[in-house]
Amino acid sequence: MSEHDPDPALHGVVRGPRADVPVARANSTRLVTRLDLVRRGGAAGPLELSGWARYFEIDAAAAESVRAGATLEATVDYHDGRTITRLETSPHLSGLDTLVGSSAIAGFRGRVGSVVAGGASEKNAPLALLLDDVPVGTLISGHAVSAERELDPRAGAGGTGYVPVGDQCAGYASGGALIATIAVRGRGPVADGPVAPPLDDAFRRTPPKLGIHAMRRRRRIDRWTENGEIRIDAMFRDTYMRVDGVETVIHEYELAVTADAATGVIRDAVATPRVLPWSDCPGAVGSAGRLVGVALSDVEAEVRREFRGVDTCTHLNDLLRSLAH
């Protein structure tokens, strides 16, 4: 598979990934995570997840120090119920071992929530965010399965097993370009995204290169106080390494939020899409503005309860929920 001109009618025109990491502000915090999704045995093999996270404090001289960190290693039997067969984390939290044998997607976050009490605290924030990415990381890893099978139908996997549901999000709007294409092809198309500009981990350290058919989800959440307001600058990027060794961007969003420093109530929330896979996906962008008037402490519950349907996006919802971390 190689980069080719996308079909704007299907893939849309939002294909401008950011080429830099903003300089960390003095007197701020920065939470960065990386979750790699690898199938060493090919499309038919198990999914291996490897996560790394750091929570930095930036002082008045703009020098960083690590407040907390975390790692995660997991294996998912992707083609048999998305079942977790191995889960190791640092720090180790008692009770996480009970997640082995359960689904990496259905009900996973609820089960984690009962184990990682105070997940948004300074101590647990890096690990909580890594664990929060397990379900969607498992879900998006199906892109690699589809891409490998598109290149070689004999790849040995029976597909992703994912059954699209109309109107579940903007990209899957009934009557939209993606659903119409699936109806014609009998299966989902593969989004061939733009080439990924290299990004360091925000402090000039370059992450290891992905292997062929591997994927990576990266997050950055900057937070500081200015003129009586809490300011948050957040982003995420999902990438895929093609067979020709070119890393491409599948999803990328940025989010800018201001909230009252005394009450935590959000005054402004603007999402900026950088890369979206389908032409109908931009229909979700405006949903970020619905958080105005919601307290930061209530964002996660609000998004879970109210952000559904064709004017929302699974991936943007994850970015919005990350405001709690």
For residue range 270-286, list pLDDT tens digits in order.
Answer: 999 999 999 999 999 99
For residue 253, what are the domain limits?
10-154+165-324
| Contact in structure between 129 and 53 (CB atoms under 8 Å) | yes
Spatial neighbors of 136 by CB under 8 A, at least 6 apart, are 217, 314, 315, 318
d(CA 51, CA 127): 9
| Contact in structure between 30 and 52 (CB atoms under 8 Å) | no
In a domain, 52, yes or no: yes
Quick one: which of 221, 240, 208 has its CA closest to 22? 221
Report CA 98 to chain centroid distance, whole Å: 24
For residue range 54-92, list pLDDT tens digits in order.
Answer: 999 999 999 999 999 999 999 999 988 999 999 999 998
In a domain, 1, yes or no: no
In a domain, 5, yes or no: no
pLDDT at residue 164, rounded to an integer: 67
Q: Kindly state the tokens that stand for 264.
A: 């935590």
Mean pLDDT of the chain: 90
Q: Kindly state the tokens that stand for 237.
A: 């990027």
pLDDT at residue 150, rounded to an integer: 75
- What does the pLDDT average to over 31-47? 92
Domain count, the chain: 1
In a domain, 132, yes or no: yes
- Residue 108 three-state SS: helix
In a domain, 2, yes or no: no
| Top-confidence residue, 228 or 148 | 228
In a domain, 4, yes or no: no
pLDDT at residue 155, rounded to an integer: 54
For residue range 152-194, list pLDDT tens digits in order.
Answer: 655 555 555 566 678 889 999 998 999 998 888 877 788 889 9
Given a cut of 70, whether residue 122 has pLDDT beyond it is: no
User: Percentage of the chain surpassing pLDDT 70?
Assistant: 91
- Residue 188 three-state SS: coil
* pLDDT band at residue 2 under the 50/70/90 scheme: very low
Buried residues in 218-255 as b, exposed as e (16+ CB within 10 A): bbbbbbbeeeebbbbbbbbbbbbbbeeeebbbbbbbbb
For residue range 125-138, list pLDDT tens digits in order.
Answer: 899 999 999 999 99
| Top-confidence residue, 320 or 183 | 320
d(CA 320, CA 81): 28
In a domain, 278, yes or no: yes
- What does the pLDDT average to over 297-314? 95
pLDDT at residue 1, rounded to an integer: 41
In a domain, 159, yes or no: no
